[in-house]
Amino acid sequence: MKKVIGVVGLPGAGKSSVCKILSEKGYFIVRTGDVTDDLINEKGLEFTEENEKKLREGLRASEGDGVYARLSFPKTEGHDLIVIDGVYHLEEWEFWKSKFDDVTLVAVVADPDIRYKRLSSRKVRPISIEECKSRDKAHLEKKGVGMIIEDADITIENDGGIDGLKESVLKFLDTF
């Protein structure tokens, strides 16, 4: 039987870091954001916050709020341990729950100032503090990420460093 972990959190909370830790324990990462990245590459666009937002919103407007889950689902084939990097809409979470019997939702949370610092100083596609705040607003108001976080089976706080995060994730796995 497949064992699936969905990961939700605001930008910079540490979703991808949690997924990387889980991959070290044998979980296959399905990154839903690859859908946007693939579209940007397909269209020959530059990777900017504006282009990503336009494509994300356009895709959801034309295909529905569960589109990222539907388009990412084929990547789960052939894997028994799966971690979904990015559950952003209730429709996506409902989709994942309909496809797998053993699915757990993990929320990763961190103080906004810590998240903004992470996002503005990352090596790949850093964004400004204003863009961070704009993303938070979109995630909370348009996507409903806050409701999904509230629905999580477990919450992992990530206000510290990678060692503390790894300890929290491994502790969760021991009880999972």
CATH number for the domain that contains residue 114? 3.40.50.300
Residue 63 lies in a domain: yes
Residue 86 lies in a domain: yes
User: For position 139, what pLDDT does the model report?
Assistant: 80
Q: pLDDT (tens digit, 9 = 90+) per residue, 84-141?
A: 999 989 999 999 999 999 999 999 999 999 999 999 998 877 888 888 888 888 888 7
Residue 47 lies in a domain: yes
Name residue 6's beta-bridge partners.
Answer: 84, 105
Helices (H), the chain: 15-23, 34-43, 49-63, 67-72, 90-99, 112-121, 129-137, 145-150, 162-175
Give the predicted TM-score (pTM) of the model.
0.90
Residue 176 lies in a domain: no
Residue type, 115: R
Number of folded domains in the chain?
Answer: 1
State the burial class of residue 105 (Cβ atoms within 10 Å of its Cβ: 0-12, 13-18, 19+): buried
- The total of other beta-carbon atoms located within 10 Å of residue 175's CB is 6
Residue 20 lies in a domain: yes
Q: What is the mean pLDDT of residues 64-84?
A: 96
Structural domain containing residue 89: 3-171
Residue 165 lies in a domain: yes
